[in-house]
Structures are given as C-alpha cells and as structure tokens.
Structure 1
Amino acid sequence: MAKGKGRILSIQSHVAYGYVGGKAAVFPLQCLGYDVDVVNTVNFSNHSGYGRFGGPRASADELNQIFSIMEQNELLRPDRLLTGYVPGAEATAAVTALAKKLREHNPELIYLLDPVLGDSGRLYVAPEVVPIYRDALPLATIITPNWFEVEVLTEVKMTDAASLRKALWTLHEKYRVPHVVISSIPLKSWLTDLLPAHLRPPTTSDVDYLACIASSQSDGVSSVHAKCFPCLPGYFSGVGDLFSALVLAHFDEANIEGQASGETPLSYAASQAVSKTHAILSLTHEAASALPEDERQATDEELDAREPMRKIKRMRGRELRLIQGQDIIRGTQPIDYKKLEPWAGFWTV
C-alpha cells in the first residue's frame, strides 16, 4: 500500500459550485498524496465574482467549537497547515490562535499562510483584519501574498529596487517569515529594468507579463529566485488558492529529490506551482474559448448589471478545469516547466 505524504489542515472558504478557496486547494492536495482535513470559513453558493451569491460565514465561536472538539478527539494533529480567506477580525483571530497552538505543540509544523486581503489596490476584508494578519506572520513557514498584499502587510509601496528590497526585508527581519513567495507582481517598467537580463521576458512580446518572486532566508542570508510568465486574457477566480496549495504540496526542505541545480526547496515548490497553475489556466482558457458565444461575452458593467445572467454565464465558463487537469496536477502530463531562476545580487544591486 502506498504511503501518504502526511496530513494537512485546510482552513479557508468553501463554495457549493466552482473552484475557489478550499474547492481549489483540497482536490490538488489529495491528488498529490495528502490527507486533508477541511474547516470551512464560509459556505457560499458560488464565488462573489458572479454578482449573486450567498451563504453563511463562520463566526469565531463556531470555528472555536470545531477546533475544540477536534482537539478533544485527538484529531488536531496535522503535519501541515494551510489557511486562506477568513471573514472578519474575530474569526481571523480565532484561526491565528489555533495556528499558534499548533506551532507550540509541533515546532516542525509547516504552515503556509495565504494572507487573503485583497488585490489590484482594493481590500477584500475590513481594515481591522490587517494587524491580525501581521501578528500571525511570525507563525508562518511560508507566505504567498500577491503584490498588493505585500504592500498592505509591510506598509511599503513597491516602486523601485529599494522599496522591493525593503518589503522583503520587512517580511524576513521584522516579521521573521523564513520563506516568502510574491505570487504575482505586474511587470511594470521599473521591475523590468531591475530584473537581470536572463530573467526578463522577450522584448518583442506584446503580451503582459507577471513576475513570481521567491525569497528564502537562512542564518540571515536570503536567496532570491524569480520567473516571468505571460498573462492569459480574461478573469479567473481561485488562482491564488490553487497556487498556494501547490506551493505547500511541493515544499520539502528535507528532500531535494527532483530539484535541479540552483534550486532551493522554496524555488522548486514555487516553480512547480507556477508551472501547474499556468497550465491549468491555459486549459481553462481553451475550454472557455470553445463555449457558445453567449457564455463568453466580454465584460460590460452596464449590460452585466441589467442582465445578471450575462455575467453569471461568463463566470461559470471560466471556472478552473481542475478535474480535467488532474494529470497536470499529479505531474503525469508533460507541461512547460517555468523554473524560477536565481536572482544574483538582488540585495546589493
């Protein structure tokens, strides 16, 4: 009988239809050999991008009741912890308290904290949630914020080399996070100019690019890796949830099997996550492009407001093709490996 890779406790949102939050994370983790215990922080009909959605949000008391009974039954013994979207400050504090208890019980716990705060300059959560996340950062083994979440957590607006270094320094030194993955950062001119030549995308490309930056600190020394990858057109939900799950699944400091020369455990995990996530998005985009015309109409806020089903059909057609892409997740289907490369001189140039 094949031996499992361990047990993961996943605490994040749930939807009845589609693939965001835990629905985007749990199945990939199971495909990769992990047993996953699931605590839902919300139980919605579908993700909020549909416009119409509904369902209950778990309160701090309800979460604590689940945690307490699991502990009494000796069921709260994960090897790894994954936390994502949590509604409200009190519920976020309850999850943080559990993470602290698990860390005290098991100092070797691998905790990936995905600080779901917002994107594209807009907070998804109440402002009082932000300091709770900052207090939780020292508990984490890995964090996977997007560029906006990095700016919110560090209070550093990233606009040049100095501010990018300051943001990463703040996460490593002030908040004592050993492994940081900036999951996506738009490739604006300042970042393009900053990147070493071997990390820049083709200059002839008219496609927008994002960068993924991974930084691991050990004994005061930080190793930085990066990779640029092309944006796919259209709106996708659940991408960060899938990416974070894949980073956690592939991260293993004790086992370097499969790692190429120059890779660290974090850069390897991030490379696997970028590669598989991008392949799933490509599969999803291809499937959505083949749908009937009325299910792939372009975004038009005025028309969408007047005809809600117009937007709903579009969102429905762009749900992640996780089931169809399970061979991608398992690694049995060949895909383009987007390896994060060393960024030599990051801290000095």
Structure 2
Amino acid sequence: MAGKPAPRPDAAGALALPRPTGPHRVGVTALHLVDRSRPDPWVPERKVRELMVSIWYPARTPKGERAPYMTAEEAELLLKGQGVEVPGEVLSRTRTNAVAGATPRGRRGSLPLVVLSPGFGMPRSSLTALAEDLASRGYVVAGVDHTHEAPVTFPDGRTAPCAACAVEDDPRFGERSTRARAADVSFVLDRLTGKDPAWKHAGLIDPSRIGMAGHSIGGNSATHTMLTDPRVRAGVNMDGSFWIPIPDTGLARPFLLLGAGQEVKDPTWPRDWANLTGWRRWATVKGAGHGSFTDYAPLLAGLLGDEETFGTLSGARSLEITRTYVAAFFDLHLRGRAQPLLDRPSHRYPEVALRR
C-alpha cells in the first residue's frame, strides 16, 4: 500500500513534522540534568554526567510559540557527521507541533511515562514525531540526549560534539554505549519520579506505568535498562542490534521488536528472541530501512533519495506505522487496553508481518 507523499515545506519554507494523531494538544519543555555520582563515560575528565531531556506531554489548549526542533549548530554537526550535504538550517527550522511551556492536562499520578532513546549519532529530536504523537494520546514522554553520542546544546550555549564517534569502531563500543545509556535512563527516572523531581509537573506521572522505546542502539538500551531497572515495565526495540545479549534467564516483561527485515540482516534478533520470555511480538516492516523509524524518514528521505537508509516505503507511511504500532504496544501494556492489531495481520498495514 502506498503511503502519503512526504511532508512539503510549510508556507514559511520550512519542513514540518506531521501532526499528532491523538485527541490532545501537546506541550514540551527541556530539562538540563546533572548526575554528580559518575563521570562522563566518553569524556572522563568531566567528573559529572550532563544530560538534556525533552519532556512532551498532553496540554490544555495551548497559547504560545511552537518549540524549536533543534539548534542550528546541532543540525550542522549532525548532518556533517552523517555525510549529508544539506544545509543545517533546512533541518533546524523544521516546524514542530508542540508548544513550549504549555500548561499540562491530567490528574496527579494519571499519566504513563515513556522514555525514548535515539540512535547513535542522532539527537533526541530525531524521535520528536513519535514523542508528539504519544503525548497527544495521553503519555508523558522523556526524550534523552546521550551526551557525546550526538551533538547536544546546553542552556549556556555550549554544544558538545560527538566524542564517542572517534571510538565507534572499537569492538566494545556497543556494550559501552548500551551500559551508559541504561545509566542515563535510570538517572532520568530518578529525577522524574523521585522525591525532588526536576520537572515541576512530574506529579502527573504514574511511576508504576513506565515504558521505554529506542531506535538502533537505543533499542538494545531498552532491554538492558529493563534488566537493570525494574521500574521499566515494557520496551520496544526499533531496528537495533543487541550489543549486550539478553541472558539465558530471560526478560519476562513485555517487549516489541519493530524492524526492517532483521530476520535476514541481524543475527542478534533471532538469538535474543528466544530469551524474551514474557509477552513478545516481532514486527517486520516491508520496504522500511534503518532510518525509517525516525523523523528523518518523512523529513529528509524525499530530499536525499537514500533507499539504503530509508528503504522504499514512503517517509509518511513509515512514520504512520511506527506511531501506530508503538502506541498500540504501550496502550496494551501500560493502560491495559486490548489491541487486536498486535495479534494478527492487518489489512490496513499489509507491510507489517507479525511473529509471536
């Protein structure tokens, strides 16, 4: 089934993210968090670990400006690091749907939380379209920038480069990144659900309903975080290799594999599938590429024409499938809402093959 055409620039000439599909408006705020208990794993002379986190959430009818997508410097460094010859402002000026600082809606302890971990070399903004959609459906979403694995700009204007890119070819890189990311996520959960929360509206979060989804190496970070932090009840791996195998003792909490032909390309998926001992699904998206699960599919695929990265499926269709299946998974496991979509093939989404 053909997808909709990729989004075109808006009236001001900027690219625009597709609108969220849920019933709520969306707000967003950014948090600068400092973990003083450990040094930076990639720049150890920095004795603290600094993180930038975006919090998306359902909002009351918001008044205000839409949040910026990313800084111009982040965009320049990101595109240069990916070998993409597109001016940084093309990406940094992308029009989002969330209003910065909008008033949240919801009762105390009523909203489930989903943490998003981006792929290596990609900032937290690369999963904005998914985050906005989940927020519009009634979730709080925390997108984490894993500092020095992608360009990150801090409130004082500093932009930290991708220091880890220099050691990406090290055989232990995948394991190092996965462990560092799991520690990042646990720290973020501490700061959102602990006694002294970093977000003034954190009381809206239900700490008993926490999920995590990650793209690429962020997907392995989801399983490893679940194995090391029992607060995360359900997880999604979007097209990521398992750099740290799931142990033979298994992972008994719900997990979704959402990938692009991984049964052929990645031997770690069938290996670790056997050790997913709880509710599990393996969804393969025909025509998708590794980048199809990020914002860059609808934003850049049409400009770059890169089938190796984005596959042959349209960016709009890739995003629709990603949003739909990830939301269905969390609706089932964090809200207890039946999801027949996850039990059988769908006529609406014939590109998706399901394995149970």
The TM-score normalised by the length of structure 1 is 0.36
- Structure 1 or 2: more helix by fraction: 1
The TM-score normalised by the length of structure 2 is 0.36
